[in-house]
Amino acid sequence: MIRFDRVLFVFPQYKHTQFGATHPPVGLGYLSEFLSANGIENDVVDMRLDPSIDRLKAKIRAFQPNLVGVSMMTLLHRHTYDLMEDIKKTFPHLFIVAGGPHISTFREAALNQCRAVDFGVTLEGEQTLLELCREVNLPDIKGLIYRHDDQIIYTGPRSFIAELDTIPFPVYGKFALDKYITDEIPLLTSRGCPYNCIYCPVKTAIGRQCRVRTPQHVIREIQYWHQRGRRHFGIVDDNFMMIKKRVLGLCQEIQDHRLKGLELRCPNGVRADQCDRQVLAQMRDIGFKYLAIGIEAGNNKILERLHKGEKIEIIRQAIENACDLGYEVILFFLVGSPGETWQDIEDSVKVATSYPVFDAKFYNLIPFPDTQLFDWVRQNKYFIREPEDYLNDASHWDARPVFATPELSREDRIKALHYTASIRRQIRQKAIQRKLQKLGILSGLAAYIFILDFVQYQLLHNYYLRRLATRIFRKITN
């Protein structure tokens, strides 16, 4: 028996975010592939490529789904509520299922806040969504939130998928691949992160239990794309390098299959204590080029407050190793952590400026619900903006703090965010100038233009400019 045989997935356009449609959303890629493998017809609309609600409605009329699946993040979630309510108003008999980090965090509360949502799917969605489509009795579908009369019922969490190799990797057949800003294919090689950093919402979005794909399964995905001319891949795991043996195994598979010309990146950030020189050297040899490291703070005092589980001495050694091996190194820092003073921020800046890194990003710290940080800020009455307010318009990239502490006032936080933004610009300008040294005296001017906010925004949102700039950049630097 089939309850829903035509599913249209929708990825909303999240306005005011830093990034445009750089690559297809890997989560929807997995869901689409899984339903296709199980005989459920589906299609995808990525509204970052075309934000028109009228064209979305035209797609609904043409495809005639009986279920629309919408991916939700917590930041800017009211925008997605409005989108779903608009869909429901136009197509009142169409069922809507929502999933993603927001639903996994808020669960029944999300359905209370948005009456347009008929179902919610928490954490991993593949099996839950398939059972929903196959007309399994709703109370028997673990991981499902649904409406019954005037009640909202959550069936409880579903056990995580232990064997990730059993899930088909996405080939993005329903996605307009050629319209994305980069030609990079995202690879998700593991799920979950067991660490307990106080600011991180990963445990509520996908869980703390780390599960991995085998190197043999990952190499089949890379081979698939390599045969189709793709060479650029971004590993989007939350904790890619957790198991050293697996990372080395993947490097060996790439070497054994003689996959030439690969360029692999770890843009989501890895832990420094997993970056020993042997692993980094092996990764570099087979095509890893870009390595983001989650530093968060420049001294052990703040690292301990964040429950990071790392020492600054280990972090510094990892940065030095990565730079020595020729990686483009990107560092992630937080601004405004619990107990952080202006001197602690200077310690972060000192780390960022001590090495020839490609970039250093200083994030405006935003407390997400169901994290230790959120509870700590609320218990101490440190919020200067209410969560319902800032979760719908805040950004890691602006200079509007959402909480303040005795050590760092609102005014000091604004000053610190502007200060660290200027440090980042200096680091990036020097890095670009190093890469463009073939241009001689023009390298300084080119680097200055490259880091302008307007240019950076265009490179993250404009398909044609990004492709042109990438071709020119590779030609100059190779």
What single-letter amino acid sits at 235? I
- Residues 74-116 have pLDDT tens digits of 988 999 999 999 999 999 999 999 999 999 999 999 999 999 9
CA nearest 94: which of 71, 67, 56, 121?
67
- The whole-number average pLDDT for the span 192-198 is 93
CA distance 452 to 259: 36
Query: What is the token pair recorded at 312?
Result: 């600054």
CA distance 366 to 85: 27
- pLDDT-based confidence at residue 462 (cuts at 50, 70, 90): confident
Residue 311: count of CB within 10 angstroms of its CB: 15
Residue 121 predicted with pLDDT over 90: yes
Inter-residue contact 234 to 221 (CB < 8 Å):
no
pTM of the model: 0.93
Strands 328-335, 232-235: pairing is unpaired
pLDDT on residue 325: 97
- The whole-number average pLDDT for the span 200-216 is 90
- The whole-number average pLDDT for the span 383-408 is 93
- The whole-number average pLDDT for the span 279-290 is 96
- pLDDT-based confidence at residue 15 (cuts at 50, 70, 90): low
Inter-residue contact 102 to 108 (CB < 8 Å):
no
Helix or strand run (H / E) with residue 295: strand 288-296
Would you give the distance in Å from CA 54 to the centre of its chain? 28
CA distance 291 to 287: 11
Residue 19 predicted with pLDDT over 70: no
- Residues 47-62 have pLDDT tens digits of 999 999 999 999 999 9
- Residues 434-453 have pLDDT tens digits of 887 777 777 777 777 777 77
183-435 has which fold?
TIM Barrel (3.20.20)
pLDDT on residue 447: 75
- pLDDT-based confidence at residue 18 (cuts at 50, 70, 90): low
pLDDT on residue 415: 98
Options 3.10.129.10, 3.40.50.280, 3.40.109.10, 3.40.930.10; CATH of 6-154: 3.40.50.280
Give the torsion sign (CA, 364, 366, 371, 372).
positive
- Residues 150-178 have pLDDT tens digits of 899 999 999 999 999 999 999 999 999 99
Percent of all residues in the chain with a pLDDT value above 70, rounded to a whole number? 98
Lowest mean pLDDT among 132-146, 246-260, 458-472: 458-472
CA nearest 414: which of 385, 389, 388, 392?
385
pLDDT on residue 16: 56
Q: Where are the domains positioned within the chain? A: 6-154, 183-435
Torsion, Cα of 241, 248, 273, 347 (10° steps): -80
Q: Which residue did the predictor score with more confidence, 205 or 107? A: 107
- Residues 303-343 have pLDDT tens digits of 999 999 999 999 999 999 999 999 999 999 999 999 999 99
> Mean pLDDT for the chain?
93
pLDDT on residue 467: 73
Q: Which residue did the predictor score with more confidence, 388 or 455? A: 388
CA distance 56 to 118: 19
- Bridge partners (DSSP) listed for residue 403: 383
pLDDT on residue 446: 74
